[in-house]
Structure 1
Amino acid sequence: MLEITFFALASLIGFLIYNGIELWKRNKSVSRVFVDFLFLLYILGLLRLTIFPIPFQTAAIQDSINKLETEQLFIYNFIPFSTIIQGISDAFIYNIYLLQITYLGGNLILLSPFGLYLYFLKRDIQINSLWLIGLASSLFIETLQLLISFILGFSYRQFDVDDLILNSVGFVFGYFAYSYIKRYKMIRR
């Protein structure tokens, strides 16, 4: 299995060296380095959730294929809202509300920290551009999962257009969340 450990360690070392130099030159503030560090941790966690581990040994691939509950090696959904509707239906039929809330909520919040970080970088993005950035970010993850699945010969992760929709909504929500929180705090004072 290809784990994220080496990639994460190399990223953290590179981050510390680069930002240590930037702090020493006084090109960045400590608070900005802290926010960037949190974003790096988020990106590493995102990669761990969506991409890693990648089974690349023949035995690991065969074991994963044997564990599939279907004879179909490639599992994907290109029909918008079908997984969401099926999940809601299953929640009522099989009484698995928590599982479906976790799926929907998890996909909604998956890219929201990325949207929040973008708000810190640039606060005047038009809504159409914001949707495109969110969609492109989610599409990158889903396409990478699909590409790795084709290379491995089976779906180690499922490509789902509903994930694109939920991730994009979460991204836009994350972007606007800070302004709402800030406005709420001003009203409360």
Structure 2
Amino acid sequence: MLKGTVLVLALPVIIIFLMVWNKKTRPSKFRLLGGIALAVYVLLLLDVTLFPLPVQSEVLRDRRLYGSPPNNLIPLKGLIGMMEHQSSAVLIRQIVGNILLFLPLGYLVPAIWKVRGVHRLAFIAFSVSLLIEGAQFLISQAIGYTYRIFDVDDLILNTLGGIIGYVIYAAFVPVIRAFEMDVVQHAKPSDGRSASSSANP
């Protein structure tokens, strides 16, 4: 119930932001579509990383009896542990999932704003991932149970996913710009049409 309520409240906020952004900056159609895609992505990212929240007292009481899983502050420790004690499928799912989770961020952010350079995008991806991990930690402290661990490996994989997304964007920039120029040229009336229309009364 809490999950649905939060997402429903977040949706109008994002819609208002997009409306104000569109009015003030007058973005191109591609940037506007990118902004809408980013808004949808943010909602899905929050849904995947923060929800559902175990707020029911019975659920929290049962989980506290078994103790909280430890946070991981040592790089690659969690992945090495999974390699030793979990199946390869679980390990691959953990790695690929965390990379794919931030790949859209690395593609959409430079497509909307003038963010150039792998180092800048890496900083943005790392910061967003750190905010999510920090939110998970604070929520766990608030409810008295580590419902999702703070994992430095997630920071590394999320940042890598953002970098890969940026590389994909950079590779497609010439194609996107050529397509935008083609759309603009087709949208403008040709010289012949302008001359004929001006000649006719």
- TM normalised by structure 2 equals 0.74
Q: What is the aligned partner in structure 2 of residue 150 from structure 1?
A: 141
Query: What code does the residue aligned with 1:120 have?
Result: A
Match of 1:97 among 78, 88, 96: 88
The range that moved more, 130-139 or 103-112, is: 130-139
Specify whether residues 74 and 100 from structure 1 end up closer, same or farther in structure 2 by C-alpha distance, changes over 3 A only: closer
Q: 2:98 aligns with which of 107, 116, 138?
A: 107
Opposite residue 47 of structure 1, the aligned amino acid is L
Question: Which residue matches 2:75?
Answer: 80
Identity of aligned residues (%): 30
Flag the structure with larger Rg: 2
Within 2, Cα distance between the matches of 1:18 and 1:134? 21
Q: Which amino acid aligns with 2:2?
A: L
Q: Does 1:135 align with 2:126?
A: yes
Q: CA deviation digits over 1:7-37, x for unaligned, max 9?
A: 3223333444554577689934444332222
Shift in alpha-carbon separation, 1:25–1:109, aligned structure 2, 3 A: closer
Per-residue CA deviation, residues 124-158 of structure 1 (Å, 9 max, x unaligned), is 53433332222111111111101100111111011
Q: Measure, in 2, the Cα distance between the counterparts of 1:28 and 1:124.
A: 16
Find the counterpart in structure 1 of residue 186 from structure 2.
none
- Do 1:23 and 1:30's aligned partners in 2 also have CA atoms closer than 8 Å? no
For the structure 1 residues 34 and 128, does the alpha-carbon distance in structure 2 shift closer, same or farther, using more than 3 Å as the test? Answer: closer
Deviations 1:65-107 (A, max 9, x none): 35xxxx432521111111112222335xxxx222211111011
Amino acid at match of 2:42: I
Distance 1:163 1:19 in 2: 29
Change (3 A) 1:57 1:157: same
Please, what is the CA RMSD of the aligned residues?
2.7
Change (3 A) 1:147 1:74: farther
Counterpart for residue 160 of structure 2 = 169
- Give matches, 1:1-189, under 5 Å: 2-3=2-3, 5-17=4-16, 19=18, 27-66=26-65, 71-91=66-86, 96-181=87-172
- Number of residues paired by the alignment? 176
Q: Provide the TM-score with structure 1 as the length reference.
A: 0.78
What one-letter code is carried by the residue in structure 2 that aligns with 1:2?
Answer: L
Q: Structure 1 residues 131, 35: CA separation in 2 closer, same or farther (over 3 Å shift)?
A: closer
Change (3 A) 1:150 1:169: same
Q: Tell me, what secondary structure is at the counterpart of 2:53?
A: coil
Where in structure 1 are there 5+ consecutive unaligned residues?
none
